[in-house]
């Protein structure tokens, strides 16, 4: 399996740069966002370098499921379940994506607005 890819998240996966890792499995990594937008802001990424959910294929079906379940598990462990939280993934320019390695944001610890900006 490929671990990483040519982005800042690839470097985090390979432990070339530090991150506050919350949970790690063979295929998925969860770590705290360096620039949190809420009291709890965690990123969940596959170790496989997929640019965004738009670049995922049928081959990634199980991995994407694992990513979502991991997000729910991390949120549970962070104590976010009772008040709720948001899981979001940004795609491309209009989506506000800045790192082109698929990631889910877990945002919690404060109410979120709807619709998002
Ligand atoms: P995007 O805008 O692509 O959806 O989200 C990228 C996220 O990655 C941003 O929230 C940004 O703060 C976070 N980020 C960018 N570089 C780093 C880094 O080096 N370490 C960590 N922990 N987070 C990062």
pLDDT, tens only, 72-108: 999 999 999 999 999 999 999 999 999 999 999 999 9
Kindly tell me if the per-residue pLDDT of 3 is higher than 80: no
Tokens found for residue 87: 């899981």
pLDDT of residue 18: 98
The residue whose CB lies within 8 Å of the most ligand 1 atoms, and thus the one to mutate among 5, 8, 41, 86, is 8
How confident is the model at residue 8, as a pLDDT? 98
Centroid of ligand 1 to alpha carbon of 62 (angstroms): 24
The torsion defined by the Cα of 86, 48, 4 and 28, in degrees rounded to 10, comes to 50
Measure the CA–CA gap between 88 and 38, rounded to whole angstroms: 13
- CB count in 10 Å sphere of residue 45: 25
Other C-beta atoms lying within 10 Å of the C-beta of residue 111: 10
Cβ of 89 closer than 6 Å to ligand 1, yes or no, is no
Q: What pTM was computed for the model?
A: 0.97
Q: Does domain 4-108 have CATH number 3.30.428.10?
A: yes
Give the atom of ligand 1 at the shortest distance from the alpha carbon of 8.
19
Q: What is the DSSP string of 48-80?
A: S---SGGG--GGGHHHHHHHHHHHHHHHHHTT-
* Pocket probe mutation, ligand 1, options 99, 100, 117, max atoms within 8 Å of Cβ: 99
Average pLDDT, the chain: 96
The token pair at 102 is: 């698929």
User: DSSP class of residue 113?
Assistant: P
Q: Distance between CA 115 and CA 95 in Å, rounded?
A: 13
| Ligand 1 pocket residue status of 31, Cβ below 6 Å | yes
Residue 1 pLDDT greater than 80, yes or no: no
pLDDT of the residue at 117: 83
Give the DSSP letter of residue 92.
Answer: H
Q: Is 8 in the pocket of ligand 1 (CB under 6 A)?
A: yes
pLDDT at 2 over 70: no
pLDDT score of 86: 98
């Amino acid at each position: 399996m490929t671990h990483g890819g040519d982005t800042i998240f690839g470097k985090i996966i390979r432990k070339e740069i530090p991150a506050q890792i919350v949970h790690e499995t063979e295929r998925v990594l969860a770590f705290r966002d360096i620039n949190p937008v809420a009291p709890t802001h965690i990123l969940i990424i596959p170790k496989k370098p997929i640019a965004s959910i738009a670049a995922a294929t049928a081959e990634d079906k199980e991995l994407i499921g694992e990513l979502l379940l991991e997000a729910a598990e991390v949120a549970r462990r962070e104590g976010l379940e009772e008040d709720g939280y948001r899981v979001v993934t940004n795609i491309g320019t209009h989506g506000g994506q800045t790192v082109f390695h698929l990631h889910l944001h877990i945002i919690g610890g404060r109410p979120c607005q709807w619709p998002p900006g």
